[in-house]
Amino acid sequence: MSATVPQAQAPREREIDSPTNASRPLVEVDHVSKVFDVSAPWLNRVIERKPRQLLQAVRQVSFNIARGETLALVGESGCGKSTVARLLVGLYRPSSGRVLFDGHDLANIQGDSGLALRRRMQMIFQDPYASLNPRWRVSRIIGEPLQVHRLIEDPQAMRARAEALLTQVGLSATDADKFPHQFSGGQRQRISIARALASEPEFLVCDEPTSALDVSVQAQVLNLMRALQKTRKLTYLFISHNLAVVHHVSDRVGVMYLGSIVELAPKARVFSAPAHPYTRMLLDAIPDISMSGRARTPVGGEVPNPLNPPTGCAFHPRCPHATPRCRSETPLLRDPGDGSLVACHAVEENRISVVA
């Protein structure tokens, strides 16, 4: 990757005034919840005498992401990971709580100042086959953020920037004239990464960016993202259900279950001494290639219906350590003594040891 990306021309309004305190987290999520109305149409409800149905996809989620850090969110399908991702980039508005980027509440940012702030964050979507417009050439796809954020207006300069970005992500400058259907899945995801980098963002939300790719291509894309993070000093929120991928890219790991974070800790602690029973069950589901002989508990049961969640701890129907307190009282995220956060009555009562 010898080519360098030329600096973008100064936009009319690059940034709003923001705090310069480098010690402050770049991203702060403060007790965010998201509720979707999944009710049947009004007339159907009247005829069938059915009430409205509300789905709480995210429940009181809080975390921070420091500058240059990679926070990974993991969990089974339907746990709310992708909803959190969309809340962080403004595709959804929180039903309650706040999302702060560099000290600014995204809900209160509008107009040109909001556009300038949103330029600093981008998203890489899961499916490279669906996230690229099949009617556009690659040069136009990569150049779209430059037009929207008014970074470059000259067509030739925009073309040169698209070619430079393609080179940086491991493709050829001549690929700018091709259409998405002319590329493989891994190459399309590289185009998605180039598009995300076009506006010179500081924060990237990666929603399972390698789940649709072959294993060998996954490694190439992950290595590319790590190299870009180092050279561009990027901050990542990485969404995945693949714990091997999470182990490769993350600094901290948040484990989600039924819309809530149940454990948040440094990567090394999560993989060496998981505290929450759900985290332990997820790790036990990984094939034991080394044949260590360690006793493993397979993940049992199914994720409850989010329209009718269990009382108390949402995980108690599947938890081998559940007690009557777990069935009636919702656990809060607490520090078990090592600086991490765990929402589990068994850990709080020392019925589960955090030490490996």
Write the single-letter amino acid at 213. Answer: L
Query: Looking at the predicted structure, is the pLDDT value of residue 8 above 50?
Result: no
Is residue 123 within 8 Å of 182, Cβ to Cβ?
no
Reported pTM = 0.85
Average pLDDT over the chain reads 86
In the chain, residues under CATH classification 3.40.50.300 are 27-250
Name the burial class of residue 276, with classes exposed (0-12), middle (13-18) and buried (19+) by CB atoms within 10 angstroms of its CB. buried
Q: What is the pLDDT of residue 18?
A: 43
Q: Is the pLDDT of residue 5 over 50?
A: no
pLDDT value of position 298: 62
- Using only C-alpha atoms, the chain has a radius of gyration, in whole angstroms, of 22
Helix (H) or strand (E) holding 191: helix 185-197
CB 93 within 8 A of CB 259: no
Task: Give the pLDDT mean for 246-263.
Answer: 94
What pLDDT does residue 10 have? Answer: 38
Higher model confidence: residue 3 or residue 139?
139
Percent of the chain, pLDDT > 70?
88
Q: pLDDT tens for residues 141-160? A: 999 999 888 888 888 999 99
Q: Could you tell me the end-to-end alpha-carbon distance of the chain, in angstroms, rounded to an integer?
A: 41
166: tokens are 């393609």
Burial of 292 (0-12, 13-18, 19+ CB in 10 A): exposed
Q: Quick one: the chain helix, strand, coil %, rounded to 5? A: 35, 20, 45
Q: What is the mean pLDDT of residues 99-109?
A: 88
- Residue 264 scores a pLDDT above 90: yes
Tell me what pLDDT residue 15 has.
Answer: 40
Q: Mean per-residue pLDDT for 304-308?
A: 87
Examine the pLDDT at 356 and tell me if it is beyond 60. no
Instruction: Return the CATH class of domain 27-250.
Output: alpha beta
DSSP H helical segments within 21-154, as ranges?
A: 42-48, 81-88, 111-118, 138-148
pLDDT reported for residue 66: 95
Residue 98: which of 110, 109, 86, 106 has the closest Cα?
Answer: 106
Average pLDDT over residues 31-42: 94
Lowest mean pLDDT among 34-43, 227-236, 280-289: 280-289
Half-sphere exposure of 155 toward its Cβ, with a 13 Å CA cutoff? 1
In terms of Cβ atoms closer than 10 Å to its own Cβ (0-12, 13-18, 19+), residue 133 is exposed
Q: Say if residue 3's pLDDT is above 80.
A: no
- Closest by CA position to 106, among listed 85, 95, 90: 90
pLDDT for 229:
93
- Per-residue pLDDT, averaged over 79-104, amounts to 92
pLDDT in the model for residue 221 = 86
Minimal CA–CA distance to 64: which of 35, 38, 100?
A: 100
Among 125-129, 229-233, 325-329, which stretch is predicted with the lowest mean pLDDT?
125-129
pLDDT of residue 219: 86
Q: Which residues, other chains included, contact 96 with Cβ-Cβ below 8 Å and sequence gap of 6+?
A: 31, 32, 33
pLDDT of 178 reads: 95
Neighbours of 6 (CB within 10 A): 13
∠ Cα 308 75 320 (to 5°): 70
pLDDT greater at residue 15 or residue 319: 319
